[in-house]
C-alpha cells in the first residue's frame, strides 16, 4: 500500500504553506490591533486669546503701502491620544490678511507633548514695516471702520509621534486658523474679542 493511501498523510509542501499562511494572518491581525490601539491622532489647535498692539498704515512718502503690525496669539495645543506623545519641531507662525502676509515668520521652540497633554504657546508676531498692496490697506481701513477684521494665522513645521520606545518618522505640519476679530479704529493695545469659535484646520 502506498504512503498516500494512509489516512492522515499529507503533502509536506502544502502543510508548510498552510503554516506560513497562518503565521502571516496572525502577524497581520497583531499589526492591526497595535495600529488601532496606538495609532496617532492629529493634534488639535485653537486660538484662546489675541492681543493687537499695532495694525496700522506706516505712512511713508517713498513707500506708501506699508503696514505696521504687532500682535500676540495664545494657541492651545491638545493631544487627543492618551497613548501617543507628539514632538513638534521647526515651527513658525505667520499672519495673513486677505491672503497677503502681514508679519514675517516667527520661529517657535521645539516641543514635546505628553499623551493626552495640553500645551499653550503665546508668540508675539509683527514688524514695523510690512509691504502690502494698496487694495489690502483700503480693505483694512473699511474693515476697521465696520469693526470686524478677518485674519488667517498659519503654523508650519513638522511632527513625529512616540509610543513607548517606538517613534514615527517626521511628517509635515500645516495649521490654519481663520479668525474674525472685533477690532475698531484705535482699539489696539489690549486683548480683542474673537467673534467666532477659533478652532483650526490641522494637516499632517
What would the 3-class secondary structure string for the chain be? Answer: CCHHHCCCCCCHHHHHHHHHHHHHHHHHHHHHHHHHHHCCCCCEEEEEEEEEEEEEECCCCCCCCEEEEEEEEEEEEECCCCCCEEEEEEEEEEEEECCEECCCCEEECCEEECCCCEEEECCEEEEEEEECCHHHHHHHHHHHHHCEEEEEEEEEEEEEEEECCEECCCEEEEEEEEEEEECCCCCCCCECCECCCCECEEEC
For the beta carbon of residue 159, count every other beta carbon within 10 angstroms.
Answer: 22
pLDDT of 135 > 90? The answer is yes
Q: Which three cell numbers stand for residue 41?
A: 491622532
pLDDT band at 64; cut points 50, 70, 90: confident
pLDDT band at 15; cut points 50, 70, 90: confident
Q: Which of the pair, 174 or 183, is modelled with greater confidence?
A: 174
- What is the arithmetic mean of pLDDT over 122-133? 93
Residue 124 contacts residue 50 (beta carbons within 8 Å):
no
**Which pLDDT value is given to residue 186?**
60
Average pLDDT score over the chain: 84
Q: Which three cell numbers stand for residue 47?
A: 486660538
pLDDT band at 9; cut points 50, 70, 90: very low
pLDDT band at 36; cut points 50, 70, 90: very low
**Which pLDDT value is given to residue 193?**
85
**Which pLDDT value is given to residue 168?**
87
φ/ψ (deg, to 5) at 145: -65, -35
**Which pLDDT value is given to residue 39?**
58
pLDDT of 121 > 70? The answer is yes
Place of cell 505712512: 59
**Which pLDDT value is given to residue 30?**
54
**Which pLDDT value is given to residue 28?**
62
Amino acid at each position: 500500500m502506498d504512503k498516500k493511501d494512509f489516512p492522515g498523510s499529507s503533502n509536506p509542501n502544502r502543510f508548510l504553506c498552510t503554516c506560513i499562511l497562518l503565521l502571516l494572518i496572525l502577524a497581520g491581525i497583531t499589526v492591526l490591533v497595535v495600529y488601532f490601539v496606538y495609532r496617532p491622532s492629529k493634534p488639535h489647535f485653537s486660538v484662546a486669546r489675541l492681543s493687537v498692539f499695532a495694525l496700522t498704515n506706516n505712512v511713508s512718502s517713498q513707500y506708501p503701502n506699508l503696514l505696521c503690525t504687532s500682535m500676540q496669539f495664545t494657541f492651545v495645543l491638545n493631544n487627543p491620544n492618551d497613548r501617543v506623545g507628539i514632538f513638534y519641531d521647526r515651527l513658525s507662525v505667520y499672519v495673513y490678511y486677505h491672503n497677503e502676509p502681514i508679519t514675517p515668520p516667527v520661529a517657535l521652540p521645539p516641543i514635546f507633548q505628553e499623551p493626552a497633554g495640553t500645551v499653550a504657546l503665546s508668540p508675539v508676531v509683527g514688524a514695523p514695516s510690512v509691504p502690502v498692496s494698496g487694495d489690502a490697506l483700503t480693505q483694512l481701513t473699511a474693515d476697521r471702520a465696520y469693526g470686524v477684521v478677518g485674519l488667517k494665522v498659519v503654523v508650519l513645521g513638522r511632527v513625529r509621534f512616540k509610543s513607548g520606545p517606538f517613534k514615527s518618522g517626521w511628517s509635515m505640519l500645516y495649521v490654519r486658523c481663520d479668525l474674525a476679530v472685533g477690532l475698531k479704529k484705535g482699539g489696539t493695545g489690549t486683548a480683542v474679542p474673537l467673534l467666532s469659535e477659533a478652532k483650526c484646520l490641522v494637516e499632517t
